[in-house]
């Protein structure tokens, strides 16, 4: 590899001063000073890195004057605080490839090509920066290109600024600051500012994590590229068929005028969890997801705010999409799905619609739509949804081949519904008109609360309750503020239809669906999405953790009985919760870079949460073992008895003289107590034991449940689980 320390500055000054004269020297003094700060201390790099190499902030900045190649089986390590500046050029329009084509080094904009491995791990205080050398408006460098031969690459606490793209070959067009074509990549806690695309994946990605990053654009792409840039993350067409998911979690996307997230036709499952998609300008879609996925993909607990067109859009005949607990605020369609199997549940919409076409199948339930329409045609079960306060549209649309339309609410909209075969246990009142285009077919109304007469072509199936505006106000807790829980004495209590055959046993709060609300000894389903005064389900709650380090494992996908629709994700602290009917369940857990785990036969009781702890075993990078060998330092760690009451003995062996700390944690990862086995925590090697009496640091007895004990010896630690049964 060519590394050159730049000493050109003194000759440059000499030439200006003596050839051009002192006057020219004074005029150019500001430019000379700015060049001095760059050229005197910069290191120029180019060519092939053929052995393991470290870039350090002691040599800042590294000026990439020509393409840099990290060769096969070679690792480039970049230390915190390092600055890497690429030679860049102006990117004028989308079709301007002239300076961004790699052909025997003719590309003007330069790049970093990785066949081996790159480890760029900065810190929050000292991030690593990849940027352009020429700080000129609309100037961009190439990409960091991770080829299909690259090993696991890691980027943490890095800044990426002003990257564009690079045409490698026909069909290979990396467009991201990080362009992933290899099998394993981790990108965490990075900032992506004013890039043509932040992270781009194509062809080969098998295990990828993009977590806790910030994607933002100001204006420095180029005005002619608005609408053409590929945004924060793009997963391109041609990804090989594979079962390992791509995890996109905890990121913030704030990219006015360009897409935040674009999934082209792919064959990889994508897990999109706990992200914020914010479009302050409201000009482009916050998320454009068009997927051809051979395995289930998930959108969970994301916020889509201020988008103009779509929050989540897409769907193809082979897709299985699970969209749960997201917030959609603003825009046109919060969700727009075509030709897919979907399960859309527990989402909140404000000022936008939930829209699926007639080729969609699946379940749509427990969604709340404020000032928007709920379009649910297709082969779907459509239940427990609320649409209200939509001044310019339809409240409920559930037409064509839908399997059922039950326990929904359409209140204070312009139009009450679009015709369906039947409406059971639904509530319609306060809407200006019945149907926008006239009633098609002969829909049957059974046990509904309505404020209009059932005249042909509408069919009265019996059990309906007709109310006036005053009576309608007495049904719910607070209509004006969107609280549609039933109040005592509501006409909807125990007034529903088809109690015995009701398939879904939960209401919108995951309380028991069929309950004797009026206390007359007969349990009948209520009209609407909430069951009055019914008890809550019990469930399973717990914690996902790494047993080697004791740290929580975040964003683990957990499925009940391996059913893709019965799922949740652990949060950033490893905590999770399911609400479930009483019964016995198996819990399946999976995450990128960890082994799949199953906990069998977890028993759930009504009104109680069964606690479990799931230990996730990390998959070691075979080319570099990154997991500390605690077993070489700490051994024979156990407690007895287990389960215990009221106390247990914790025993361990250590091989080195070292400082030892033993701590107790609850299932939420909160420290309960720190135990020192002896007054002096510095122990000699050997076997030791300590008794925990089941009390916290305030000497108060703790409740029954699962607890962890963590022993830390120097830089090594281990964790074990124990159960207190009082």
What are the structural domains of the chain?
2-37 (no CATH), 357-532 (no CATH), 538-615 (2.60.40.1120), 634-724 (2.60.40.4070)
Mean predicted confidence (pLDDT) in 359-367: 91
Mean predicted confidence (pLDDT) in 7-21: 40
8 A C-beta contact, residue 554 and residue 595: no
Which of 21-25, 135-139, 210-214, 373-377 comes out lowest in average pLDDT?
A: 21-25
Mean predicted confidence (pLDDT) in 268-280: 84
> Is the predicted pLDDT of residue 240 greater than 60, yes or no?
no
| Residue 103, pLDDT score | 76
Tokens of 303: 């916020």
Handedness of CA 667, 669, 671, 677 (dihedral sign): positive
8 A C-beta contact, residue 702 and residue 696: yes
- Model confidence at 449, in pLDDT bands (50, 70, 90)? very high
| Residue 374, pLDDT score | 86
8 A C-beta contact, residue 667 and residue 706: yes
Average pLDDT, the chain: 84
> Is the predicted pLDDT of residue 696 greater than 90, yes or no?
yes
Selected residue with higher pLDDT from 236 and 581: 581
Q: Which pTM was predicted?
A: 0.86
Mean predicted confidence (pLDDT) in 388-417: 82
- Model confidence at 329, in pLDDT bands (50, 70, 90)? very high
| Residue 226, pLDDT score | 58
| Residue 718, pLDDT score | 83
- How far is the C-alpha of 374 from the C-alpha of 385, rounded, in Å? 8
| Residue 273, pLDDT score | 96
Selected residue with higher pLDDT from 176 and 130: 130
Q: Encode 186-217: b = buried (16+ Cβ within 10 Å), e = exposed.
A: bbbbbbbbbbbbbbbbbbbbbbbbbbbbbbbb
The count of residues in the chain is 726
Which of 36-50, 254-268, 325-339, 407-421 comes out lowest in average pLDDT?
A: 254-268
């Amino acid at each position: 590899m060519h590394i050159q320390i730049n000493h050109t500055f003194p000759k440059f000054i000499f030439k200006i001063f003596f050839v051009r004269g002192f006057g020219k020297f004074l005029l150019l003094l500001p430019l000379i000073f700015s060049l001095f700060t760059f050229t005197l201390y910069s290191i120029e790099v180019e060519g092939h890195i053929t052995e393991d190499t470290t870039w350090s902030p002691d040599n800042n900045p590294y000026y990439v004057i020509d393409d840099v190649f990290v060769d096969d089986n070679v690792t480039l390590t970049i230390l915190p605080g390092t600055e890497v500046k690429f030679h860049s050029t102006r990117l004028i329009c989308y079709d301007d490839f002239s300076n961004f084509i790699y052909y025997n080094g003719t590309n003007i904009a330069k790049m970093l090509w990785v066949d081996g491995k790159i480890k760029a791990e900065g810190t929050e205080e000292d991030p690593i920066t990849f940027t352009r050398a020429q700080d000129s408006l609309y100037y961009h460098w190439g990409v960091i290109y991770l080829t299909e031969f690259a090993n696991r690459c890691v980027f943490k606490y890095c800044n990426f600024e002003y990257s564009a793209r690079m045409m490698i070959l026909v069909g290979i067009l990396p467009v991201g600051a990080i362009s992933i074509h290899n099998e394993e990549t981790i990108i965490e806690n990075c900032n992506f500012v004013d890039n043509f695309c932040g992270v781009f994946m194509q062809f080969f990605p098998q295990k990828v994590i993009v977590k806790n990053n910030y994607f933002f654009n100001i204006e420095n792409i180029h005005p002619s590229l608005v609408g053409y840039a590929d945004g924060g993350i793009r997963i391109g067409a041609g990804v090989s068929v594979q079962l390992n998911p791509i995890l996109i979690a905890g990121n913030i996307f704030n990219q006015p005028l360009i897409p935040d997230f674009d999934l082209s036709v792919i064959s990889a499952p994508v897990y999109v969890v706990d992200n914020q998609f914010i479009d302050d300008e409201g000009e482009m879609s916050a998320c454009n997801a068009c997927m051809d996925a051979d395995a289930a993909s998930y959108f969970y607990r994301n916020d889509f705010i201020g988008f103009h067109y779509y929050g989540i859009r897409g769907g193809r005949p082979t897709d299985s999409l699970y969209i749960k607990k997201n917030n959609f605020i603003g825009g046109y369609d919060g969700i727009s799905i075509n030709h897919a199997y979907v399960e859309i549940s527990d989402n909140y919409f404000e000022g936008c619609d939930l829209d699926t076409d007639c080729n969609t199948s699946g379940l749509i339930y427990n969604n709340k739509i404020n000032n928007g329409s709920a379009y649910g045609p297709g082969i779907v079960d459509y239940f427990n949804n609320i649409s209200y306060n939509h001044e310019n549209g339809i409240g409920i649309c559930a037409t064509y081949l839908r399997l059922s339309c039950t326990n929904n609410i359409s209140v204070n909209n312009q139009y009450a519904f679009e015709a369906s075969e039947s409406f059971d246990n639904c509530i319609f009142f306060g809407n200006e008109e019945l149907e926008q285009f006239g009633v098609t077919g002969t829909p049957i109304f059974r046990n509904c609360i309505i404020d209009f007469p059932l005249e042909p072509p509408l069919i009265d199936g019996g059990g309906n309750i007709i109310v006036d505006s005053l009576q309608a106000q007495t049904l719910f807790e607070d209509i004006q503020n969107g609280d549609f829980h039933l109040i005592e004495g509501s006409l909807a209590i125990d007034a529903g239809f088809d109690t015995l055959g009701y398939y879904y046993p939960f209401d919108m709060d995951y309380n028991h669906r069929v309950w004797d609300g009026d206390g007359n000894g007969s349990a009948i389903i209520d009209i609407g999405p909430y069951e009055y005064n019914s008890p809550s389900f019990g469930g399973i709650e717990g914690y996902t953790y790494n047993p080697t380090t004791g740290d929580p494992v975040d964003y683990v996908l957990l499925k009940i009985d391996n059913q893709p629709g019965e799922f949740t994700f652990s949060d950033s602290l490893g905590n999770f919760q399911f609400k479930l009917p009483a019964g016995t369940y198996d819990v399946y857990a999976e995450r990128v870079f960890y082994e799949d785990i199953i906990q069998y036969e977890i028993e759930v009781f009504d009104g109680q949460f069964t606690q479990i702890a799931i230990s996730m075993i990390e998959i070691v990078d075979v080319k570099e073992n990154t997991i500390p060998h605690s077993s070489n330092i700490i051994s024979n760690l156990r407690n007895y008895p287990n389960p215990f009451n009221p106390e247990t003995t914790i025993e361990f062996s250590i091989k080195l003289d070292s400082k030892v700390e033993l701590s107790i944690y609850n299932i939420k990862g909160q420290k309960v107590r720190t135990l020192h086995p002896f007054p002096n925590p510095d122990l000699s090697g050997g076997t030791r034991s300590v008794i925990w009496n089941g009390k916290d640091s305030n000497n108060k007895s703790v409740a029954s449940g699962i607890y962890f004990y963590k022993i830390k010896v120097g830089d090594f630690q281990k964790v074990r689980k124990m159960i207190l049964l009082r």
